[in-house]
Amino acid sequence: MTELLTAAQMRAIEAAAIASGEVTGLELMERAGRGVVEAIFEEWPELAPSWGPTPKPPEYLLQDDEEGKLRAVVLCGPGNNGGDGFVVARLLHEAGWGVEVFLYGDAEKLPQDARANYERWMKAGTIAMLDTYLARRKWGCDILIDALFGTGLSRPLCGFGDLFWNTSDARDCHVPQFGHPRGRPAIVSIDITSGVCSDSGRAFNLEDCNPNAISAHLTVTFHRAKLGHFLSEGPQYTDRVIVKDVGLTLRPNEVRPVVTISAPYANWLEKDDDHKYKHGHVLILSGGVGSGGAARLAARGALRIGAGVVTVGCPAAALVENAAQLNAVMLREIGDSGDLADVLGDERINALCVGPGLGLGDRERELVSFILGEGGVKPRPTVLDADALTLLAADQELFSRLHSDCVLTPHAGEFARLFPDIAEKLNAPSSVGPFYSKVDATRDAARRAGCVVLFKGANTVIADPKGGCSINTSVYDRRAPWLATAGSGDVLAGFIAGIMARQFAPVYAAWMGAWLHTECAIKFGPGLIAEDLPEQLPAVFRDLGV
């Protein structure tokens, strides 16, 4: 688990460290700049000054360059992000690079530490206004440093001409070419790509401009990654994020900061030597004839992830269809709440999954209502997905019966139906940052529902009613776009139910289920269909040492 910070938390940590005398702001800025230069040389070792018998770049890097130097252009903004840029300019200059610095804003108004580094740079080189660089209409560098805005960006940008579009083109269509005067540079953003809100990942919208931010090959951030690196559009604007230690020891003052989910421990997933019912029994409710595929996918997921027994319950007419498709999964007739009461008479059924392919009629409403405690049935850990979410959205009375052992797993459309006002706030165009984020929205939804909410998407956010929140990252090195395939959500619902049957608390089941779901997709790769996901679990488990 890695903590992710908001801009305010980062500022508070920085301020507390400075107030305690642990470090000065100027020293922090120096460490930040040093971290950026280190990260550049780690990412592109051929640029580092220290390889080979002599501290000199190889011939191919020098051949077209008049001065025989690697060249950097550093674009500095009006705040401390710009201050970091002046440090990077000085350090690259000291490493023998040709460096040009361009400023956006008024040098007289730079904050104190940025101003100090501006003056230090002025002893080594010169500074021109950003417009001068934009008017040149050529890159003229091997590395372009984006030190325009960091965590202090609070409103839309203007005056950047084609810069955002050009960086997007350079990143998406070309490999950086070092040492060629007309080559395209590697683009490195300091802290966060300029134009993106560090709390929400949303880019500040410009009416006449798309893209709305710098696109970078590499972003170097400090102490901890920020929420905006993982949420919304944030990951679209950078290929990679590296976190550099700047010697800060403090943690955020929030009791439960947002974390990224990491691999579950092998011993959590292992089964002990016991009989099948010791590993739990999941009941999955299915729809009628021709609608059972989603429930069967969920059932396969629940069984593979380690539930001891999985039963699908369906109306009488669908028994033959399901029997023809299921082997290890058991089958029961559940036509109405009376049948359901009979089946739930088996106390060993300790987790339920309801919604995939269920249907939206009176029977289904009655079943969901019964599961949520109508008629005094004991509430059990329950995943509510797909049609169950639609039923909940249409029925306030049903929604009010959600309990703390429930997990809701909406995608964006279902989320908007369930929590229309929250979704509206999340999607509202806004010009003043920081924006309301997917983390804020999921936390608010979980508080209102009184249970765990797993808000699906390229990055899935999981929140519990007490404010705990985590992100299952599927970007950067965990990118798995082929997960967007029919039925993959049904498998996820089955994974979570299967883990709950193993007696994990709902929030842990949601974390593990989401992480393993992404991992199965990564393991399989392109061409994945939902049926493949549970079949990857044995290999994923082996990798984890289970």
Ligand X SMILES: NC(=O)C1=CN([C@@H]2O[C@H](COP(=O)(O)OP(=O)(O)OC[C@H]3O[C@@H](n4cnc5c(N)ncnc54)[C@H](OP(=O)(O)O)[C@@H]3O)[C@@H](O)[C@H]2O)[C@@H](O)CC1
Q: Tell me phi and psi for residue 242, to 5 degrees.
A: -115, 135
Site for ligand X contains 77 (CB under 6 A) = yes
**What would the x/- binding string for ligand X be over residues 33 to 72, using CB under 6 A?**
----------------------------------------
Distance CA 284, CA 309 (A): 11
DSSP-assigned letter for residue 465: T
Ligand-binding site membership of 460 (annotated): yes
Q: Which is nearer to K ion, 88 or 314 (CB)?
A: 88
In 366-425, beta strands by DSSP E: 382-384, 406-408
Site for ligand X contains 228 (CB under 6 A) = no
Site for K ion contains 516 (CB under 5 A) = no
Site for ligand X contains 196 (CB under 6 A) = no
Of the candidates 4, 5, 10, 37, which one interacts with ligand X according to CB under 6 A? Answer: 10
Structure tokens that stand for 479 in this block: 């990118």
Ligand-binding site membership of 373 (annotated): no
Q: Which helix (H) or strand (E) holds 244?
A: strand 241-244
How many residues sit in the footprint of K ion (CB under 5 A)? 4
* Residue 116 CA neighbour count, 13 Å, CB half: 10
Calculate the dihedral angle through the C-alpha atoms of 521, 524, 526, 530, rounding to the nearest 10 degrees. -60
Ligand-binding site membership of 459 (annotated): yes
Q: Which is nearer to ligand X, 222 or 230 (CB)?
A: 222
Site for K ion contains 88 (CB under 5 A) = no
Ligand-binding site membership of 152 (annotated): yes
Subset of 15-34 contacting ligand X (CB under 6 A): 28-29, 32
Q: Which is nearer to ligand X, 173 or 432 (CB)?
A: 432
What does 10 interact with, of ligand X, K ion, none (CB < 5 to 8 A by kind)?
A: ligand X
Strands 71-76 and 143-147: parallel
Of the candidates 178, 222, 436, 495, which one interacts with ligand X according to CB under 6 A? Answer: 222
Residue 181 beta carbon to K ion: minimum distance, rounded to whole angstroms: 26
Subset of 87-146 contacting ligand X (CB under 6 A): 111
Query: Any bridge partners for residue 352, and if so which?
Result: 283, 382
Structure tokens that stand for 506 in this block: 């709902």
Nearest to 75 by CA among 124, 148, 141, 152: 148
CB 359 within 8 A of CB 291: yes
Residue 209 beta carbon to ligand X: minimum distance, rounded to whole angstroms: 13
Q: Which is nearer to ligand X, 145 or 331 (CB)?
A: 145
Of the candidates 78, 234, 357, 506, which one interacts with ligand X according to CB under 6 A? Answer: 78
Distance CA 6, CA 200 (A): 9
Ligand-binding site membership of 191 (annotated): yes
Q: Which is nearer to K ion, 189 or 286 (CB)?
A: 189
Which part of the chain contacts ligand X (CB under 6 A), choosing from 135-143, 153-161, 381-389, 415-423?
153-161
Distance CA 408, CA 421 (A): 17
Ligand-binding site membership of 375 (annotated): no
For the chain, the 3-state helix, strand and coil shares in percent, each to the nearest 5, are: 45, 15, 40
Ligand-binding site membership of 532 (annotated): no
**What would the x/- binding string for K ion be over residues 177 to 196, using CB under 5 A?**
------------xx---x--
Ligand-binding site membership of 357 (annotated): yes
CB 63 within 8 A of CB 135: no
Distance CA 248, CA 224 (A): 10
In 110-239, beta strands by DSSP E: 127-129, 143-147, 186-190, 218-222
* Residue 216 CA neighbour count, 13 Å, CB half: 32
Q: Which is nearer to ligand X, 10 or 383 (CB)?
A: 10
By residue count, the chain amounts to: 546
What does 194 interact with, of ligand X, K ion, none (CB < 5 to 8 A by kind)?
A: K ion
Provide the binding-site residues for ligand X, judged by CB under 6 A: 10-11, 14, 28-29, 32, 77-84, 111, 149-157, 190-191, 222, 246
Provide the binding-site residues for K ion, judged by CB under 5 A: 146, 189-190, 194
